[in-house]
Structure 1
Amino acid sequence: MAELQLVDVSVRDGNQSLWGATGLRTAHIAQVAPLMNRVGFRALDFSSSTAMGVSVRTHRENPWDLLRLTRAAMPDTRLQFIGTGFRFISWEKASPDVMELVYQCLVNAGMDRFVVLDPTHDMDAVRETARIIKKAGGTEVIAALTYTVSAVHDDAFYAGIAAQLAACGDIDRAYVKDPAGILTPERARTLIPAVLAQLNGKPLELHAHASLGLSPLTCLAAADLGVAVLQVGCGALGNGTSLPDAEKLVANLRASGHTVDLDDRLLALVARYFDQLAAAENLPAGKPREFDAAFMHHQVAGGVMTTLRRQLAELGMEHRFGAVMEEITRVRAELGYPIMVTPFPQMVIGQALANIVGGGARYDQVPDQVIRYVLGSFGKPTAPVDPGVLDRILSRPRARELAGEPPPLSVPELRRRFGRRTGDEELLLRFGMPEAEVDGMLAAGPAVAHYNPGVQPVLRLLRELGTRPGAARLTVDKPGFRLELKGRSE
């Protein structure tokens, strides 16, 4: 039996999967970071350009400050940043020198472990990104093999990608990333050995979401097969559409004869912190999910599914839901089986909706992002796009317009646009975000860095009282506790 290590995803992927990436603020993370540093995690899945954008847009907090604060609080734990090649915050492609600046700033702020995820497995882009990261000073680069089920994504496909990763000196390890939670234990028993056989000794990790309730069992199978690291969520930020619950998985691994060297008491304290935070902030806690066989075909995640149902309801076309789901499966095949991870679900669903509700023939209407995908802006499609569909899309005048778009701005061009005195970190935020959002963040000043979930109900009560007319007496009465405040006149 093996010794397993854990990577905790609560702060980044748990927050994104369960709380729409908006649930955690700087204060929440600052409070728990010193505790997480001592648990014994191999690394913390900490940030992404999406998370950084949310910090600015939703919380008006500087994400670069949060990186530095967390690094100071967690000196003994690797902090992980996940990126998708040549993009930062915006899904528009960035120039190579902009990405060099991105990774240099991330390393300077304290990131040391980087996941390179290209949804189309464009290995030229993966290798170049890994090279840039190592040049910037990143100490550990992990390449993602993003798992899906399709006519082309068989074990041989992933083994071929693994062989290319093994040959790249800038890539230190790999992980199987299952964003939809559809990797079964049975498939793991053929896929993982095929990948490990090609990695030439480089370690393999598993990142499998719990969306269908499969991943807790798949993780146990992976541990038996030689996977070195499993990724988990803690407390309210585990299970559901996040990753398997850390405490339960550790117990199951040990019961299966494996060793997991971490501090159980501190792990429990971290889990309870996120439980208390969820209760205090009225955020949903992840719960074990039931298996849904239909998901294996359409692979549309729960949040995207909710949005689709709302869109159909707004159009008065709820009765076409079944037809749209069938069209999603058809469009995905015609577009070369893109993996249903952002931004591809939005593209596939947008095209399926246009085909069903557009009123004309299929592909009479084509969203710009689908055209860009066919043009290769998001990497080379895994399988060839259906020739008939390709011709219908590329023959459109809009395709010729998008094909003639100017190249992305370089760093010197960005400095001319935003001012030469603009610092690198601010420059990168302005590159990827609307000007007003960055201005709002700067105007808000430093983020609050202290938080106690236990006092939040009292603080809410006090804020509510502050909005009401003056009262002579206030009484708080609950089982085992009574507080009575009287005005001076009584």
Structure 2
Amino acid sequence: MKFVDTTLRDGHQSLIATRMSTKDMIPVLEAMDKVGFYSMEMWGGATFDVAVRFLNEDPWERLRKIREKIKNTKLQMLLRGQNLVGYRHYADDTVRLFVRKMVENGIDIIRIFDALNDERNLLIAIDEAKKMKAHVQGAISYTVSPVHTLDYYLNYARKLVELGVDSICIKDMAGLLTPKEAFELVNSLKKQFSLPIDVHSHCTCGLAIASYQAALDAGADIIDTALSPFALGTSQPPFEPFYYSLSKQGIVPPPDWETLNFLIEYFTKVREKYSAFDVKMTTIDPKILYAQVPGGMYSNMVKQLQEQKMSHKMKEVLEEIPKVQRDLGYPPLVTPTSQIVGVQAVLNVMTGERYSKVTKEVKEYVKGFYGRPPAPIDPELVKKILGDEKPIDVRPGEIIPPEVEKSKEELGLLAKNDEDVLIYIILGEVGKKYLQKRYVDQLKIDFDLLKEFEAPVYPV
């Protein structure tokens, strides 16, 4: 039985808006390395964007620093297939370079998923990861809809296996997986495939702990948990009680309470430090059971409605989300489709007329630029949004021109290495401004050093 610790990625992404800095992680890395986690999910997801956009940090440097301290535990990251860690599809040359550089910088396990469960969006990332000898975990984006049946998930898992993944993850981002469904899905996957099965969920709806136990009963090999200060709420179930329970059954060694107590005290203080960003969720949110809204998406909508002085419309928005999801072919609500559906639902409510205003992202989604929806989109809606334009029917990455060399030329002296180029490609102007600031700061440091060691001038 193995545990993935999510404290340094999904734990703080779910609870404190991904604001934990690298300097807050460094002091406890060696202690975390002693706990006995199978892997630590500590990179990818929103961490790349937030590091640059809000923390003025180099995400690549975070990866290298953590790798330097972690000797016994595998390092894991979350990759959105052709989306990488951004919000659009990137060119194939960018995907290959990104996968190559993250493995070179220290990643062992890559959890790769596509928001639409369109396997075409995983092809390039999986191929490059296999070339780099990384462990590839293919993830199933889990949701509840008329088309997302047990057979649907088993068929998708078969596609992942055919692509050569090393393990399979059931990725339940909104915490919708019930104990019955968890048991049936894990049991069926174990019967059909000989790969390890990992279960990832969130406690938002109050189902995850019971569903994890059901998954373990069905033979799940791995579960995702967080250390208790960064567990529960919109995050994962807590590590300590699950590990303790399994230790009592003789499945895992007894817990190292001295190390765990140290980590609990430390991360409790870290969470307090970021209280301004804390979701402060003290109860479950059963509304998610019908709205299917992941925690990050919910908090973004709250902020959006507050800015428009329309907080009183939240109930209508939550009722509109499943309608938009149905209209668009039941996409699972995970980045980037959660933002696409959520923003359009807010627009529909604010304008009072559904789809009278349509976002650029919704139009691109309907065109097929994000991939193949799980179910056909309402033809009338396609006509209303696209007019006489026709959706594409090829893999979206095929129509994006190469961008790495062009980006290197655009950056010039700002790019010290390929990692810098990737920051720019993925984050655009936000990435460029970060690189510009770092370049200017470095020039100031070099100038100050030059003044300090300037040879004294003696009178003749």
TM-score when normalising by structure 1: 0.82
**Aligned ranges for residues 373-412 of structure 1 at < 5 Å?**
373-395=365-387, 407-412=400-405
Which residue is equivalent to 1:232? Answer: 225
Q: Which residue of 2 aligns with 1:37?
A: 33
* Bigger mean CA deviation after superposition, 330-339 or 293-302: 293-302
Alpha carbons 1:40, 1:263 under 8 Å: kept: no
Deviation readout 1:207-230 (Å, 9 max, x if unpaired): 111112221121111111110011
Q: Match for 1:223: what amino acid?
A: L
Q: Which moved more, 1:206-215 or 1:313-322?
A: 313-322
Contact 2:174 2:295 in 1 (8 A): no
- In the other structure, the counterpart of 1:483 is none
Conserved 8 A contact 1:40-1:262: no
- The 1:139/1:317 distance shift into structure 2, 3 A limit, reads closer
Q: CA deviation at 1:444?
A: 5.4
- 1:120/1:379 contact within 8 Å kept: yes
Matches within 5 A, 1:63-78: 63-78=59-74
Cα distance between partner residues in 2 of 1:110 and 1:33: 15
Q: How many residues in Structure 1 have an aligned counterpart in Structure 2?
A: 434
Match of 1:153 in 2: 148
Give the structure with the higher percent helix: 2
Match of 2:360 in 1: 368
**What's the counterpart of residue 436 of structure 2?**
439
Q: Separation in 1 of the partners of 2:315 and 2:273?
A: 38
- Cα displacement string for residues 194-245 of structure 1 (whole angstroms, at most 9, x for unaligned residues): 222232x100011111112221121111111110011111131111111111
Instruction: Tell whether the 8 Å contact from 1:158 to 1:195 is kept in structure 2 after alignment.
Output: no
Q: Could you tell me which amino acid in structure 2 is paired with residue 63 of structure 1?
A: P
Alpha-carbon offset, residue 336 of structure 1: 0.6
Question: Is the Cα contact below 8 Å between 1:40 and 1:261 reproduced in 2?
Answer: no
Cα pair 2:291 2:322 within 8 Å, conserved: yes
Deviation at 1:407, TM superposition (A): 3.0
Which residue of structure 1 aligns with residue 447 of structure 2?
A: none
Matched ranges for 1:113-128 at <5 A:
113-128=109-124
Q: Distance in 2 between matches of 1:443 and 1:252?
A: 53
Q: How does 1:123-202 map to 2 (within 5 A)?
A: 123-135=119-131, 137-169=132-164, 171-199=165-193, 201-202=194-195
- How far 1:396 moved relative to its partner? 7.5
Change (3 A) 1:187 1:444: farther
User: Paired residue for 2:418, among 424, 446, 449?
Assistant: 424
Structure 1 residue ranges without an equivalent (≥5): 446-490
- CA pair 367-284 structure 1, distance change in 2 beyond 3 A: closer
**Do structure 1's residue 259 and structure 2's residue 256 form an aligned pair?**
no
C-alpha distance after superposition, 1:96-137 (max 9, x if no partner): 1111111111111111110101111111222332111121x2
Partner of 1:217: 210
Q: 1:196 to 1:68 in 2, by over 3 A?
A: same
CA shift for structure 1 position 442: 4.7
Tell me whether 421-430 or 34-43 shows the greater mean CA deviation.
Answer: 421-430
SS in 2 for 1:197: helix
1:387-419 per-position Cα deviation (integer Å, ceiling 9, x unaligned): 11111111188999xx9x983442222222222
* Structure 1 contact 140–172 (Cα < 8 Å) conserved: yes
- Whether the 8 Å CA contact 1:237–1:285 is kept in 2: the answer is no
Among 15, 19, 24, the alignment partner of 1:18 is: 15
Query: Partner of 2:110: helix, strand, or coil?
Result: strand
Aligned equivalents of 1:363 and 1:83: distance in 2? Answer: 31
Residue 62 in 1 paired to residue 58 in 2?
Answer: yes
CA distance in 2, matches of 1:62, 1:307: 24
| Matches of 2:371 and 2:265, distance apart in 1 | 42
User: For the Cα contact (< 8 Å) 1:60–1:444, is it kept in 2?
Assistant: no
Letter in 2 for 1:377: F
Q: For the residues of structure 1 that align with 2:328 and 2:407, how far apart are their CA atoms? A: 34
User: Which of residues 89, 97, 102 is equivalent to 1:106?
Assistant: 102
**Taking structure 1 as reference, are residues 389 and 255 closer, same or farther at Cα in structure 2, changes over 3 Å only?**
farther
Larger gyration radius, structure 1 or structure 2: 1
Aligned: 1:46 with 2:46: no
In structure 2, what is the Cα distance between the partners aligned to 1:49 and 1:440? 24
**In structure 2, what residue type is equivalent to 1:164?**
K
> Does the aligned pair in 2 maintain the 1:42–1:77 contact within 8 Å?
yes
Does the CA-based 8 Å contact 1:235-1:272 persist in structure 2? no
SS of 2:122's partner is: helix
Shift of 1:307: 3.7
Measure the CA separation in 1 of the matches of 2:390 and 2:350: 21
Paired residues of 1:213 and 1:289 also in contact (CA < 8 A): no
SS in 1 for 2:170: strand
SS at 1:38 equivalent:
helix
| Alignment CA distance shift 1:159-1:418 (3 Å) | same
Counterpart of 1:181 in structure 2: which amino acid? G
Contact 2:190/2:197 (8 A) holds in 1: yes
Residue type at the aligned position of 2:70: M
Q: Do the aligned partners of 1:239 and 1:287 also contact (CA within 8 Å) in 2?
A: no
Three-state SS of the structure 2 residue aligned to 1:363 is coil
The 3-state SS of whatever aligns with 1:211 is: coil
Question: What are structure 2's unaligned runs of at least 5 residues?
Answer: 443-460
